[in-house]
Amino acid sequence: MSKPLVAILSGAGISTDSGIPDYRGPNGLWRRDPAAEKLVTYEYYMGDPEIRRRSWQMRRKNRTLRAEPNAAHLAVAELERAGVPVRVLTQNVDGLHQRAGLSARKVLELHGSARSVVCTKCHAKGSMEDALARVEAGEDDPPCLECGGILKSATVMFGERLDPVVLGEAAAISKACQVFIAVGSSLQVQPAAGLAGLAADHGARLIIVNAEPTPYDDRADEIVREPIGTALPKLLRGLATRSDAQ
């Protein structure tokens, strides 16, 4: 008997133990500093050089690139090593699932990656570390080295569409999985949040691990309100054990 496919939708809450603040929680970035939202809004970013300069300074101070995986990320990688088919659909841009040891091909980054930059004109990609080194050296708004266009983080900004190919793959996984775990996500940002409902519609067991209520709680088979760093490893160990028994 084949082992059940486990899909894990991870949101900002899975990375807070790594020192990366969430955005919409009680102490989230957007609640503390609504003006910060402009720095990651495509229209403002493209139209205002001052916004871009501030954005680069925000990235320079950002802890994302220096963050290390925590117990929850490591538990997901351990589930894969235990032989359970697992796919991660992440709303995060920190790359910590891959750094924890999960195969990159098993991670779909719905909102892109903060570890890369992309040119808005010629679409050339590059390393965020290299771009930040240019900022450190005195370039306050480093242009694309290929064409001189405006560089941005390879993340999906407010006002941009998600990559339809990535979203299509995520939808296919959500329909095919037997277990769907939404962890550390407010499940308020569409279309990513809708994947939980899609999985439930196709018969998956829906488990929500989140400190606060979500719009999909009434669809869930199980709701866990305990801290993610201890709750998720425990939950995944149980899944691995049950999977071994099959």
pLDDT digits (tens, 9 = 90+) for 38-56: 888 999 999 999 999 999 9
Cα-Cα-Cα-Cα dihedral sign, residues 161, 163, 165, 167: negative
The lowest-confidence range among 61-70, 156-165, 228-237 is: 61-70
Instruction: Tell me the backbone φ, ψ of residue 30, rounded to 5 degrees.
Output: -70, -30
Q: Are 174 and 205 in contact (CB under 8 A)?
A: no
**Catalytic site positions:** 111
- Give me the pLDDT at residue 180, please: 98
- Give me the pLDDT at residue 244, please: 60
- pLDDT of residue 94 exceeding 90, the answer is yes
Closest CA to 170 of 196, 188, 189: 196
Q: Are residues 126 and 241 in the same domain?
A: no
Q: Are residues 213 and 167 in the same domain?
A: yes
Burial grade of 134 (CB within 10 A; 0-12, 13-18, 19 or more): middle
Among 129, 155, 181, the domain boundary falls at 155
Domain span at residue 79 reads: 1-20+68-111+162-246
User: Across residues 3-20, what is the average pLDDT?
Assistant: 93
- Give me the pLDDT at residue 33, please: 64
- Give me the pLDDT at residue 48, please: 96
Integer Cα distance of 115 and 67 in angstroms:
12
**In CATH, what number is assigned to the domain containing residue 218?**
3.40.50.1220
Q: Are residues 131 and 222 in the same domain?
A: no
Q: Are residues 119 and 241 in the same domain?
A: no
- Give me the pLDDT at residue 243, please: 64
Share of the chain above pLDDT 70, in %: 92
Q: Are residues 235 and 140 in the same domain?
A: no
pLDDT digits (tens, 9 = 90+) for 113-161: 999 999 999 999 999 999 999 999 999 999 999 999 999 999 999 899 9
Q: Are residues 129 and 56 in the same domain?
A: yes
Number of domains in the chain: 2
Q: Are 20 and 95 in contact (CB under 8 A)?
A: no
Q: Are residues 186 and 204 in the same domain?
A: yes
Q: Are residues 4 and 122 in the same domain?
A: no
Integer Cα distance of 209 and 229 in angstroms:
11
Long-range CB pairs of 226-230, under 8 A, 24+ apart, other chains included = 228/13, 228/14, 228/16, 228/17, 228/72, 228/183, 228/184, 229/17, 229/70, 229/71, 229/72, 230/71
For all residues of the chain together, what is the average pLDDT?
91
Instruction: Report pTM.
Output: 0.89
Q: Are 192 and 7 in contact (CB under 8 A)?
A: no
Q: Are residues 136 and 42 in the same domain?
A: yes
- Give me the pLDDT at residue 26, please: 46
The lowest-confidence range among 21-35, 134-148, 232-246 is: 21-35
Q: Are residues 90 and 174 in the same domain?
A: yes
Q: Are residues 13 and 31 in the same domain?
A: no
User: Across residues 195-219, what is the average pLDDT?
Assistant: 96
- Give me the pLDDT at residue 54, please: 93
Name the β-bridge partners of 89: 9, 108
pLDDT digits (tens, 9 = 90+) for 161-190: 999 999 999 999 999 999 999 999 999 988
CA end-to-end distance (rounded Å), the chain? 7
**In CATH, what number is assigned to the domain containing residue 54?**
3.30.1600.10
Among 103, 122, 155, the domain boundary falls at 155
Long-range CB pairs of 130-137, under 8 A, 24+ apart, other chains included = 132/56, 132/59, 132/60, 132/65, 135/56, 135/57, 135/59, 135/60, 136/60
Closest CA to 212 of 175, 187, 176, 245: 187
What band does 28 get if pLDDT is binned at 50, 70 and 90? Answer: low
pLDDT digits (tens, 9 = 90+) for 218-228: 999 999 999 99
- pLDDT of residue 1 exceeding 60, the answer is no
Among 155, 187, 213, the domain boundary falls at 155
- pLDDT of residue 23 exceeding 70, the answer is no
User: Across residues 89-111, what is the average pLDDT?
Assistant: 96
The DSSP symbol for 178 reads S
Q: Are residues 52 and 145 in the same domain?
A: yes
